[in-house]
Structure 1
Amino acid sequence: MIYKFRALLDNDTEEDIFRDIEIRETDSLEDLHNAITQSFGFDGLEMASFYISNNDWDQGEEISMFDVSEGANAVRLMNETILNTVVSKTQTKLIYVYDFMNMWTFLIELAEIAEESEGTDYPNLMFVHGQIPDAAPQKEFEAENFDDDYDEFEDELDVDDYDNLDFDENWN
């Protein structure tokens, strides 16, 4: 079977920027990563991760390019994760982040599951809409329940006044 995905740049511009990509359900997330980076004109050399998402686009479990956890926690890897193990008719959404310094963020949604077309090479870029901007869209994060009156330094402690601090400044 063939999965047809729409990869939409998560931005706040008036024009949507997306790519429609066909890929075999038995291909890996690394194959999808490569198809996305190529279709948007990236070199594919930066770190990236997929995140399983729900219908509200909440970020769930990470599936990474490389295991950088140093053995602390088991990490799923793109090259070991087959598409049909994370995406299905009931689980259709992924979040894809490319280049963690710039945070290019894409909303990936399974649009259709179809039969493989004879003579078609997969992955297949089906449709291109919009041009990728020169820089990643800036995200604005809002804190929930943030008290504007909170002052981290309200105790007026002078950290440069060593004589009145409660520790030995030559402890080591």
Structure 2
Amino acid sequence: MIYRFRAILDNDTEDDIFRDIEIRETDSLEDLHNAITQSFGFEGLEMASFYISNEDWEQGEEISMYDVSEGHNDTRTMSETILNTVLDQSQTKLIYVYDFLSMWTFLVELAEIVEETEGTDYPNLMFVHGQIPDSAPEKTFEAENFDDDLNEFNDDELDVDDYSDLDFDENWN
């Protein structure tokens, strides 16, 4: 079977920027990563991750390019994760982040599952709409209870020059 995806650049402009991509359900997330980066004109050399998403586009489990957990926990990697093991008709949404310094963010949705067309090479770029900007759209991040966390410390009680309560030797070198 063939998965048809729409990868939409998550931006705050009025212009929609997206690519429609066909790929085999038995290909890996790494294959989808390569198809997305190529279709948007990226070199594909930067770190990236997919995040399983719910209907409200909330970020869930991360599936990264490389296992950077250093053995502390089980993480899935793109190359080991087959598309049909994370996506189907009931689970259709992924968030894709490319280049963690620039934070290019894409909403990737499985739009349709169809039969393979004989003579078509996959992955297949079906449709291109909009030009990607020169730099990634700026993101605004909201920290929950950020002010509450800052106010947790009373400035009168905090003495930055007092090392007596710290568990280290201030003259260590």
Normalising to structure 1: TM-score of the pair?
Answer: 0.90
Deviation at 1:146, TM superposition (A): 4.5
Paired amino acid for 2:21: I
1:13 maps to 13
Paired amino acid for 2:54: N
Give the aligned length.
169
Query: Which deviations, in whole Å up to 9, do the C-alpha atoms of 1:105-149 show, x marking residues without a partner?
Result: 100000001111111111000010111111111110123345478
**Partner Cα separation in structure 1 for residue 172 and residue 154 of structure 2:** 25
1:169 maps to 170
Identity of aligned residues (%): 80
Give unmatched runs, 5+ long, in structure 1.
none
1:46 maps to 46
2:85 maps to 85
Paired amino acid for 1:166: S
Instruction: Identify the range of structure 1 (138-147 vs 25-34) with the bigger mean alpha-carbon deviation.
Output: 138-147
Query: Which deviations, in whole Å up to 9, do the C-alpha atoms of 1:19-61 show, x marking residues without a partner?
Result: 0000011111111000000000000011111111100111111
1:159 maps to 160
Deviation at 1:75, TM superposition (A): 1.1
Give unmatched runs, 5+ long, in structure 2.
none
1:126 maps to 126
Partner SS for 1:109: strand
Q: 1:67-146 to 2 correspondence within 5 Å?
A: 67-146=67-146
Instruction: Identify the range of structure 1 (100-109 vs 140-149) with the bigger mean alpha-carbon deviation.
Output: 140-149
Over the residues paired in the alignment, what is the CA RMSD in angstroms? 1.9
**Partner Cα separation in structure 2 for residue 46 and residue 34 of structure 1:** 11
